[in-house]
Amino acid sequence: PLPKVHLVDMESETAEVRKVVVLSRAMERMLEDTLARGEQAIMLMNRRGFANRIVCPACHERMTCPNCNVNLVVHAAGGYTVCHYCRGRVPIPEFCPNIACRERLVQLGHGTQRIESILASRFPLARIRRVDSDTMRVRGDYEQLIEDFEKRNIDLLVGTQMIAKGLDFPYVSFVGIVDANMGAFADFRASERMFQLVTQVAGRAGRAGTAGNVVVQSTDPESPALQLALRHDYEAF
């Protein structure tokens, strides 16, 4: 049976709890229930790294790649920032480079590393593994991951689209999509990619004959492509 999908409007969630929200209350509650039952879960965050931009709160200067002029992405595990276009690396800056400012910089946005950190703090007993191009460097890394997850040595996978398709594990009963609208306005094919990704990763839940649960977080819950994906309505899309 198809999984039961729960849509969370993140703008309403933020307004209700009066603070910036990364994981909604519904997401945390269902994930907690899943882990308590001894079942497995998958969390999709289709951006690697820890934070996707560094800005100065005073003068609004943003830290960009010296080669490409695009935002540098924080990779906290390695202690550096990376340009995801040219692969250039720069040590994580602490203070605004503007001599007249020198305010302490802040890191905004989130990627797989930050989600992994939040989940480890919220569920300290869960065995969590991050899956992205930073952790899966050679074929053997991915094969070992699949084997460990199949043997239930991992409770929770956190990753990019690498975990969205082709996996069939009977004990996965929950899938969380942290940000369904990521890249929604990138280009004219963005709605197709979103529909494909949401449909595919949602299908990872409930593979053993029982319906699983999927929580989809979105800042644009009325998006036609998203609504059709949540109904698994391929023909209408």
Most confident of 47-56, 125-134, 197-206: 125-134
Bridging pattern class, strands 40-44 and 53-55: unpaired
How far from each other are the two terminal CA atoms of the chain, in whole angstroms? 21
Average pLDDT over residues 136-165: 86
Give the per-residue pLDDT at 122: 94
User: What's the rounded Cα separation, in Å, for the pair 91 and 167?
Assistant: 36
Cβ(22)–Cβ(178) under 8 Å? yes
Average pLDDT, the chain: 84
Higher pLDDT, residue 48 or 157: 157
Average pLDDT over residues 76-95: 83
pLDDT higher than 70, residue 67: yes
Give the per-residue pLDDT at 206: 66
How confident is the model over 98-130, as pLDDT tens digits?
888 888 888 766 788 888 989 999 999 999 999
Number of continuous H segments (helices) and E segments (strands) in the chain: 6, 11
Q: How confident is the model at residue 17 (pLDDT cuts 50, 70, 90)?
A: confident
Q: Give 3's DSSP letter.
A: P
pLDDT higher than 70, residue 79: yes
Give the per-residue pLDDT at 208: 60
Most confident of 25-34, 185-194, 209-218: 25-34
Least confident of 21-35, 151-165, 198-212: 198-212
Give the per-residue pLDDT at 156: 95
Q: How confident is the model at residue 31 (pLDDT cuts 50, 70, 90)?
A: very high
Bridging pattern class, strands 89-91 and 172-177: unpaired
3-state secondary structure of 158: strand
User: What's the rounded Cα separation, in Å, for the pair 33 and 173?
Assistant: 10
CA atoms within 13 A on the CB side of 135: 22
pTM: 0.78
Q: What angle do CA 75, 77, 81 make, to 5 degrees?
A: 25
Q: How confident is the model at residue 46 (pLDDT cuts 50, 70, 90)?
A: confident
Give the per-residue pLDDT at 29: 95
